[in-house]
Structure 1
Amino acid sequence: MNDGDREEIARLLPTLADQDLPREQHHRHKELLMHRIDQDIAIARETGRGTGRERVTRTRSGRRLLRPALLAPATALTLAAALAAGVALNGGAREHSGATAHGVATDMRPAAALLGRISDAAGDRTVPRVRDDQFVYTREKAQGADLTSGKAVLDPLRERETWIAQEPGPLHRLGLVREDGETLPVNAELGDTDGTPAGLGRPTYGWFSALPTDPDKLLTYLYAHTPFAEGRGRDQAVFEQIGSLLGGMMPPATAAALYRAAAKIPGVTAAPQARDAIGRRGLGIARDDTRYGVRTEWVFDKEDYSFLGSRSYLIKDRSYGRAGTLLSSEAELEIAVVDKAGQRP
């Protein structure tokens, strides 16, 4: 990130008067991009350009559905605004790049074999069809690191429930999130004045059903439509985009194609020591973000290859933590279909 980028991010950081606003209720793919901006701010702090007031919270690593966040100061909202500006500025630079331009890397063979088994299991799994008037319910436990102090400090492990509307939209009210005894609405993505439609940022069962089930065509679609920030590797962006969808309620053929598409991304490896937020050990798929020194892992059950969760951690010493420092982790506990927001299965 150059000096101009750091200055622009610093300019967008909030004033102290903004502390009473709630944290953004953003889609998972935008949280992933926020992570990149957050880490750039940490880099800026290392070089003496940080403001000293920013809340630099590492969001959870990749998963499937909309990711309504917890309540927190408005700094995260302002970072989201910085993100939106960055995506707008760089939107014209997106390239249509398909699987043919991203062959399987030489270190991928164990990961490709594992993803093949995971894909086969996903394709054989029975999944209920979801009507447009229903909601997908998820329950998970997750935690992330707060870098406000200049050091990575893990937040407590929290349980969260979400209810995500399946209407194609655009919608202004996307569902509900319940955490720490509070139930809050999930509103349209920032900037979507007409509402947020179904898509990568709000994946519904109907939207999943319309995706190509040929892995090469699906990967071409993902490279063409995944948002990315300047200086961020496209392969990493697509890997994390797929991660944001994993474990979601989707047709089996779509799930199978997603895993085979992931196997075609260079740099994807097996991670035999992977575990989720509640300590369940499983079969892991990982990719290293070499620029930021962060590894992202997906964790799957050893018996039935179902998605368990994910985690991310430092693989290089940084000013805010040593190699091995956990930045985020999550564990999927339950996913179901319900008829009303707020209803438990």
Structure 2
Amino acid sequence: MNDIETLRECWERPAPPAADVRAAARAALLARAAGPPRGRRRWAVRALALAAATVVIATGATVVQTVAGGERSLPPANAQVVLTRIAAAVQEKNFTPPRDDQWIYTEIRRQGHFFKGMQPGARFTPSTPLRTDVDDIWTRADGRRIGYMVNGKLTTSDPGVRTPENTYALLTALPTDPDALLARFREIHGGGKPIDDAYLFERFAVTLEQSIVPPAQEAAIYRALAKVPGVTVDESATDAEGRPALSVSRVADGWREVEILLDPATYAYRQRRETAVADHDEMSPRPGVEAYTGEDGTSTPQPPRLEWSIEKGAVWNIFTRTAVGVVDQVGQKPRPD
């Protein structure tokens, strides 16, 4: 035994890395392996990919690759790295949970095109002005009452059937394991039927928007998003006000990109934005759906008609959370920071 071997025997072996660290390292290595060669020879790129795979095997992680199109592309790996980083940060934030008898207030400004009374056949382009509405919502932390404004008057009511998206008491009961959280959301929103990944992504986006999310559950949401196929991250995005933002996004329905826009430094939630990434005609009934109209007691098939259309590049909706906080009474608003 030489001196180096003696030292190795004396030193403590390092503890295995945590699961989040392994996931981030795995994604980073795969991203490097899948990226452009930057002038290296082909054998050098293959060697880097082999080295990445060796490190992953050594840490006990499992890599799943898509066969079609070769190795996993850079955006999914980068998204996994960034979402893991966000989860670790939000889990450590300061948080004071509300009492059951307190109220959570949210003010949401919606800018968009789809409103009651919209003219049939309307076409929206990037230059079409957005209509703006503002909603004030109060929800008791225990979920028993909800408050809202009707024609300028405060009204409260029984909330009826609630989901974790807008009920703090249900949020705190959500699992903090990302796989268990994904399964729970599929159960809640599927009604016993499968739901697609795009809809699942939107439910997570709405959950971040409509309430105060406890740190453990917020971290679990971002770890769950890192497991949803098709999710991408852009760290050089801008929000609707032109401020630098971090965008977490996924395409839904084949034509609209749904973005979760965060503060790039604190990862605080800002907005949910939907933008057309392809031209789209909204037909009623939709393709594959039969609708009937009754005339003289008979039912006749209803031919498809154009409800509205949108041009690629046009914004469909922007939901901005302009205020959120805990208050003691319904109707109160939190003091601005």
Q: Which band: TM-score by shorter chain?
A: 0.5 to 0.7
Give distance in 2, aligned partners of 1:229 and 1:237. Answer: 15
Match of 2:328 in 1: 339
* Residues 188 and 323 of structure 1, relative CA distance in 2, 3 Å threshold: farther
> Unmatched 5+ residue regions in structure 1?
1-102, 190-194
The 5-angstrom pairing of residues 180-329 of structure 1 reads 182-185=152-155, 187=157, 195-196=160-161, 198-200=162-164, 202-204=166-168, 206-227=169-190, 234-247=196-209, 248-272=211-235, 274-289=237-252, 291-319=253-281, 320-329=309-318
Find the counterpart in structure 1 of residue 294 from structure 2.
none
Aligned mate of 1:167, from 124, 133, 142: 142
115, 124, 146: which one aligns with 2:83: 115
Give 1:104 deviation, angstroms.
Answer: 8.7
Task: Quickly say closer, same or farther: Cα 1:162–1:128, change in 2 above 3 A.
Answer: same
Q: Which has the higher contact order (CA 8 A, sep 6+)?
A: 1
Alpha-carbon separation, structure 2, partners of 1:233 and 1:220 = 11
Structure 2 counterpart of 1:125, one-letter code: K
Q: Which amino acid aligns with 1:118?
A: I
- Distance change (3 Å), C-alpha of 1:295 and 1:273: farther
Q: CA deviation at 1:201?
A: 5.3
- Flag the 1:165–1:275 CA change in 2: closer, same or farther, 3 A: farther
Change (3 A) 1:201 1:188: farther
In the other structure, the counterpart of 1:50 is: none
Alpha-carbon deviation of 1:270?
Answer: 1.2
Matched residues in 2 for 1:264 and 1:326: separation? Answer: 27
Change (3 A) 1:187 1:324: farther
Aligned residue pair count:
229
CA distance in 2 between counterparts of 1:140 and 1:264 reads 28
Contact persistence 1:276–1:330 (CA under 8 A) = no
**Contact 1:104 / 1:266 at 8 angstroms: preserved in 2?**
no
- Rounded to whole Å, the distance in 2 between the matches of 1:312 and 1:187 is 31
TM-score (norm 1): 0.60
- Identify the residue that residue 11 of structure 1 maps to in structure 2: none
Q: Counterpart of 2:98?
A: 130
Instruction: Classify 1:303/1:133 alpha carbon distance in 2 versus 1 (closer, same or farther; 3 Å).
Output: same
Identify if the C-alpha distance between structure 1 residues 110 and 298 changes in structure 2 by more than 3 Å, giving closer, same or farther: same
SS in 2 for 1:265: coil
Would the alpha carbon gap of residues 322 and 138 (structure 1) be closer, same or farther in structure 2, given more than 3 Å must change?
same
Identity of aligned residues (%): 28
Please report how far the alpha carbon of residue 324 of structure 1 lies from its aligned counterpart in structure 2 after TM superposition: 0.7
Task: Give how far 1:159 is off.
Answer: 3.7
- The one-letter code matched in structure 2 to 1:132 is D
**Deviation (angstroms), 1:158:** 3.8
* Contact kept in structure 2, 1:141 and 1:278, CA below 8 Å: no
Equivalent residue letter for 1:160: D
Cα deviation code 1:207-241 (max 9, x no counterpart): 212111111111121122224799x9611111111
TM-score (norm 2): 0.61
User: Which amino acid letter does the alignment assign opposite residue 224 of structure 1?
Assistant: E
1:154: how far off?
4.5
- Aligned CA RMSD, in angstroms, stands at 2.7
Give me the whole-angstrom Cα distance separating, in 2, the residues matched to 1:183 and 1:273.
Answer: 42
The alignment partner of 1:226 has SS state of helix
Displacement of 1:302: 1.3
Give the deviation of 1:271 after TM superposition: 3.0
